[in-house]
Chain A
Amino acid sequence: DSGVTQTPKHLITATGQRVTLRCSPRSGDLSVYWYQQSLDQGLQFLIQYYNGEERAKGNILERFSAQQFPDLHSELNLSSLELGDSALYFCASSEGTEHNGYTFGSGTRLTVV
């Protein structure tokens, strides 16, 4: 157990729907990162939050949004889902913005049918 908790582990939904992925960071970690992993794109950085504030944005679609709550857990919202959004979504956390490497969760596998 890495200490980063992601729920749900698996999600199957239809095109056009909206889903919410949840992440609880490791105790003491203030930064949360979201990544998408797919066969064709590899690991793509989506967004980073630090202590509730957005810090960096990557290749995140406008249909996707995220937030980090006062208790530091984070949610990634995916809407108007398309078949191409099927992927593994990882959350990772770190103590701050220093570069000590992340701790990853085990991911949420999203399948859009």
Chain B
Amino acid sequence: DIQMTQSPSSVSASVGDRVTITCRASQDISRWLAWYQQKPGKAPNLLIYDASSLRSGVPSRFSGSGSGTDFTLTISSLQPEDFASYYCQQTTSFPLTFGPGTKVEIK
């Protein structure tokens, strides 16, 4: 199975800050990576697919990059509605696996 790790596990930031979250796969997954945002009590929401493709309707302050084993999700200017947990997911092979998550908290 492909193991996914994320760092940091949590980050405290202020509105307007630039936030970067890193995701690493235990083996080469090419560009088959998705990023999700999840707010308490809600289902995950797809933000980015294929490592860098922004899902329709997602604000452009979200961006993704990377390939192979190392990936990043960047929020260019944090907004109040962005305080949430973020998960990466490899979509290259079964079992599909998620990272442990990064919680973005208000500083």
Specify whether A and B are partners: no
List residues of chain A with CB under 8 Å of any chain B CB: none
